[in-house]
Amino acid sequence: MTGISWRHVALWAVFIIFMLLLPEMVSKGTLRTVIFANFLAIFAISWDVISGRTGYISFGHPFLIGIGAYTTAILSYRFGMPVGLSIPLAVCVTMVAGTLFFLPALRVKGSYFALVTLAFMELMYQLVQVIRPDLTGGTRGMSGVTTLARGAVNNYYLSFGLMIVIAVSMWVLMKTRFGTALSAIGMNEESVRGSGLSTTRLKLFAFMVSAMVAGLGGAFYVHYLGSIAPRALFDINFVFTIIVAVLIGGASTIVGPMLGAFFLTFLLEYLRPYLPGAERYFIYGSIALVIYMYQPKGLYEIVMQQWRKYRVVKAGET
Amino acid sequence: MAEVSRRKSRRDLNVSHHLEVNNLVKMFGGLIATNEMSFQVDEGESLGLIGPNGAGKTTIFSLIMGELRQTSGSITCFDSEISHLQTHERIQRGISRTYQVPRPFADMNVLENIRVGLMPDNIWQMIMRRPDPEREIELAQSVGFAENDFLRHPSELSIGDLRKLELARTLATDPSLMLLDEVFAGLTVAEIAQMAELINQKREAGMTMIIVSHDLKSLEPLIDRAIAMNYGAIVAEGSFADVMADEQVRATYLGDE
Ligand SMILES: Nc1ncnc2c1ncn2[C@@H]1O[C@H](COP(=O)(O)OP(=O)(O)O)[C@@H](O)[C@H]1O
Ligand SMILES: [Mg+2]
């Protein structure tokens, strides 16, 4: 909620340079894990814009991601539309469909919002299986969807490029008074209204931004995987992964969801040999709880605290 | 004294009232919180609203702001009906309130709290135009914050400071009619004097006000007229002295104190 300083810019630059050099430093296997982390970061940032800031918890983000993914997959795979056209179209469709469906949801409060969004996700899961399975691929989904890049390194650069463009633009957007207003809604919506602002309009706009990012992420994700599997996409575990990434990283920030996404992806990756099945999802709850007990504001705040401590020590030395 | 006569003459000239409430009714289930209330406030006038706890004072404010919808009756601002407007639209008409229990933004400092009040209700401008720190500071200072308070968070503020912050955020919306709810509650003697001074300044500047307070001694010099209410209805209306002399008021109110 403070302005942008040269130190911020420098930190972003250092991070970007490090990530650009990453393929030189790590194995292809690790790089594939980072690709997933990049996509999870995109979804987490999207979720945070509406839910992390305003406190309206969405359980339906796979609905948005799914619209983006299905639209571009169907347009390009079934109708031979070039990806350069189908992806922007998919993003537009996500924003429009998301707005239409969520408009009623925005008028309800708290847990009702969560329920309504969850219902949309479930509805979408049922719909893609029943309506026009010749287009959606029904229960099995689709495979053979055009991929945009070949090999781990290229796909890594593509996913990182997308993630960093989204992260930095969202970071700049959230530094404006618009971001402040969204956070204010999360703290006390009545007072925001009492300050003369239409919170309905603010939430709707935040939702459209969130849908845009989710649509972008979903579209690129399907072109990375080359396939779409409704059961994995419209899965409550997928929603939890996104939410837990934001919460352990630090809601209402941009760096937090990124941190959380990377932390969670690598944690699950390293746990895979020991906990192969769904048990590893139990780990989510425990980790989220431990971090929450230590610092409710998440990893981002833990890092910031250490940094402030370090600054104080440094200042004491000189 | 010159101020008072200026206000009086303006009142005579203006036919339309700044705010007019007519036959206002608000039911909460079977409870009648506002019972056929009718009153007016003229431009530049300061009206005191008194009554025991649960009389329905805060409910009136919420109805005027559109935070609650009336069961029936009308609310007009300069003769135009505002009942259909949403809260933010009423604020854009220059009506603003403070809350009995201050409602700051907990994770924002004093200046950031004021920043929200200063925001235009236009997302494009919110994004493209920078905040105005000078105006934020000016407002913070105008309600009596010192420089070292600017970056404090609500959790570090006293109830008096929170009321000041509430007032600053309300003033930030640039109101011409202010509804002040229990402005003196929980304040120290020094803070009461400071708050009264602030209200007086706004009054001198021509602000229309409705003030709710239990602290009658502090309220008296700040108002032109008083309304006493109980059970959602007006019990007495007139000058402060007249209202306090009313038998019903003495019975319900002074017995309550
Ligand atoms: N949201 C509400 N739901 C139900 N009853 C309410 C609500 N708000 C206020 N009341 C009731 O309405 C009456 C008037 O309350 P209020 O306006 O807060 O009184 P005052 O501000 O004069 O103390 C009280 O009996 C209170 O319990
Ligand atoms: Mg009250």
Q: How far is the CA of B20 from the centre of ligand 1 (A)?
A: 21
Candidate from A193-197, A295-299, B96-100, B229-233 with smallest mean pLDDT: A295-299
Tokens of B105: 């933004």
Per-residue pLDDT, A133: 81
Per-residue pLDDT, B5: 45
Residues in A touching B169 (Cβ below 8 Å): 191, 194-195
Tokens of B9: 């003459």
Q: What is the pLDDT of residues A137-157, one digit of tens each?
A: 888 888 888 888 888 899 999
Q: What is the pLDDT of residues B110-140, one digit of tens each?
A: 999 999 999 999 999 999 998 999 999 999 9
Q: Into which CATH architecture does domain A6-317 fall? A: Orthogonal Bundle (1.10)
| CB atoms inside a 10 Å sphere around CB A140 | 14
More confident residue, A111 or B19: B19
Residues in B touching A198 (Cβ below 8 Å): 86, 88, 121
How far apart are alpha carbons B107 and A184 in whole angstroms? Answer: 8
Contact A208, A248 (CB under 8 A): no
Contacts of A283 by beta carbon, 8 Å cutoff, 6+ apart: A267, A268, A271, A275
Q: What is the pLDDT of residues A177-186, one digit of tens each?
A: 999 999 999 9
Q: What is the pLDDT of residues B34-69, one digit of tens each?
A: 999 999 999 999 999 999 999 999 999 999 999 999
| CB atoms inside a 10 Å sphere around CB A177 | 23
Contact B49, B210 (CB under 8 A): yes
Name the one residue in this structure whose structure tokens are 């390194």: A153
Ranges assigned E (strand) in A183-276: 227-228
Q: What is the pLDDT of residues B236-254, one digit of tens each?
A: 999 999 998 888 888 876 5
Per-residue pLDDT, A87: 95
Please, which pLDDT band fits residue A280 given cuts at 50, 70 and 90? low
| A175, HSE (Cβ side, Cα atoms, 13 Å) | 13
Please, which pLDDT band fits residue B3 given cuts at 50, 70 and 90? very low
Per-residue pLDDT, A108: 76
Q: Is B69 helix (H, G, I), strand (E, B) or coil?
A: coil
More confident residue, B104 or A281: B104
How far apart are alpha carbons B53 and B46 in whole angstroms? Answer: 21
Q: Are strands A227-228 and B72-77 parallel, antiparallel or unpaired?
A: unpaired
Q: How far is A137 from chain B (nearest CA, A)?
A: 40
Residues in A touching B172 (Cβ below 8 Å): 195
- Average of per-residue pLDDT across A254-268: 91
Ranges assigned E (strand) in chain A: 142-143, 227-228
- B191 is in which domain, residue-wise? 14-256
Q: How far is B26 from chain A (nearest CA, A)?
A: 20
- CA atoms A144, A150, A151, A156: torsion sign: negative
Question: Is residue B23, in this structure, part of any structural domain at all?
Answer: yes
Contact B63, B26 (CB under 8 A): yes
- Average of per-residue pLDDT across B154-168: 93
Strand order in the sheet with B80-81: B31-41, B19-28, B72-77, B80-81
Task: Encode burial over B49-84: b for 16+ CB neighbours within 10 A, e otherwise.
Answer: bbbbeebbbbbbbbbbbbbbebeebebbbbeeebbe
**Atom number in ligand 1 closest to CA B61:** 17
- CA atoms B75, B81, B86, B92: torsion sign: negative
- Check whether B256 has a pLDDT greater than 60: no
Closest ligand to residue B54's CA: 1
Per-residue pLDDT, B257: 45
- Average of per-residue pLDDT across B31-36: 93
Name the one residue in this structure whose structure tokens are 């220059």: B94
Q: What is the CATH number of the domain that holds B211?
A: 3.40.50.300
Contact B47, B17 (CB under 8 A): no
Question: Residue A18, exposed/middle/buried by CB under 10 A (0-12, 13-18, 19+)?
Answer: exposed
Give the residue extent of every domain in chain A.
Answer: 6-317
How far apart are alpha carbons B13 and B2 in whole angstroms? Answer: 17
What is the helix (H) or strand (E) element at residue B28, kind and residue range? Answer: strand B19-28
Candidate from A62-66, A94-98, A271-275, B197-201 with smallest mean pLDDT: A271-275
**What is the count of structural domains for chain B?**
1
- CA atoms A258, A260, A266, A268: torsion sign: negative
Contact B170, B178 (CB under 8 A): yes
Tokens of B104: 């700051």
* Mean pLDDT for chain A overall: 88
Question: Is residue B8, in this structure, part of any structural domain at all?
Answer: no
Contacts of A6 by beta carbon, 8 Å cutoff, 6+ apart: none
- Check whether B7 has a pLDDT greater than 70: no
Per-residue pLDDT, A2: 54
Ligand 1 atom 18, closest CA: B58
What percentage of chain A reaches a pLDDT higher than 70? 96
- Check whether B87 has a pLDDT greater than 90: yes
* Mean pLDDT for chain B overall: 90
Please, which pLDDT band fits residue A278 given cuts at 50, 70 and 90? low
Per-residue pLDDT, A246: 93
Chain A within 8 Å of B105 (Cβ-Cβ)? yes
Mutation pick from B89, B126, B155, B177 vs chain A, by most beta carbons of A within 10 Å, is B126
Per-residue pLDDT, A125: 85
What is the 3-state secondary structure of B121-185? CCHHHHHHCCCCHHHHHHHHHHCCCCHHHCCCCHHHCCHHHHHHHHHHHHHHCCCCEEEEECCCC
How far apart are alpha carbons B169 and B191 in whole angstroms? Answer: 18
Question: Is residue B5, in this structure, part of any structural domain at all?
Answer: no
